[in-house]
Amino acid sequence: MPIDSVEELSIPAPLDRRNDPPPSQELDRESFMKLLVAELKNQDPLEPLQAREMVTQLSQLTSVEKLINIEQGIAAVQAETAGVASTQLSSLVGRQVTADVSAVDLGQTGGVTSQFNVQSRAAEVEVTIREPTGEVIRVVKLGDTFPGLRSFSWDGNNESGERMPPGRYGVEVSGRDADGLQVVTSTEVSGIVSAVSYDTGLPQLVMGNTKVMLGDVTSIAQ
């Protein structure tokens, strides 16, 4: 069959080169040294590479090599730390934990469910959600509430129905009885840890309908 053009002629790669990895796009230590040697070989005899420039380039090589070693070391420490942390957190399953849930973590999607304590029956309970700056963005009204551990849900929207960005938001709970007198409430909750969740990328202890950050835990008991 006649060949109309050179482009139609496909020459396979040598067998010993077909499985070679693609060339690296980063300048590693070996490449840096090759460039430096090539520069020395091809330098202008009338304007040779100055000693100061040589020292500068060698210093750059040393800095690059140190940064690579540091990065590899940090990656290894992070992997080891994550494994140890996961093992330690799993030991909390089945333990009695008390935590202060005066803040909740809102994710990219979905809402937030948390809990609070009411000392006596309240005719009206309000949960106020605040931004880190202290600005009120939503007030959730729960109405008549019996004493004990209670739950509330926030859909992640502000009063205008706009979705709030992911982040940590403050929670305040207040209540009044039928006579308008203030009822004692608290965002400190206790419960048995049933699981450890990583939904937000950070470990959270699951207690009933509530997920608490490890930093919010105030006490752990058997």
Alpha carbon 95 to its chain centroid, in Å, reads 25
Token representation of residue 93? 């399953």
Token representation of residue 219? 């006490």
Please say which residue of 90, 117, 133 terminates a domain.
Answer: 90
Strand 167-176 and strand 103-106: the pairing is antiparallel
- Comparing CA positions, the residue from 87, 112, 97 lying closest to residue 171 is 112
Residue 216 lies in a domain: yes
Residue 1 lies in a domain: no
Please say which residue of 57, 90, 123 terminates a domain.
Answer: 90
Output the pTM of the full model.
Answer: 0.53
Token representation of residue 215? 């930093």
Token representation of residue 189? 């909750």
The answer to whether residues 72 and 122 belong to one domain is no
Per-residue pLDDT tens listing for the chain (222 residues): 444 444 444 445 555 555 555 555 455 566 666 766 776 666 655 555 554 565 566 566 666 666 666 776 676 555 444 444 555 677 788 888 888 888 888 888 888 888 898 999 999 999 999 998 889 999 999 989 999 888 888 999 999 999 999 988 999 999 999 988 999 998 888 888 888 887 767 778 888 777 888 778 888 877
Please say which residue of 41, 71, 90 terminates a domain.
Answer: 90
- Comparing CA positions, the residue from 77, 110, 82, 78 lying closest to residue 196 is 82
Residue 19 lies in a domain: no
CATH number of the domain encompassing residue 211:
2.60.40.4070
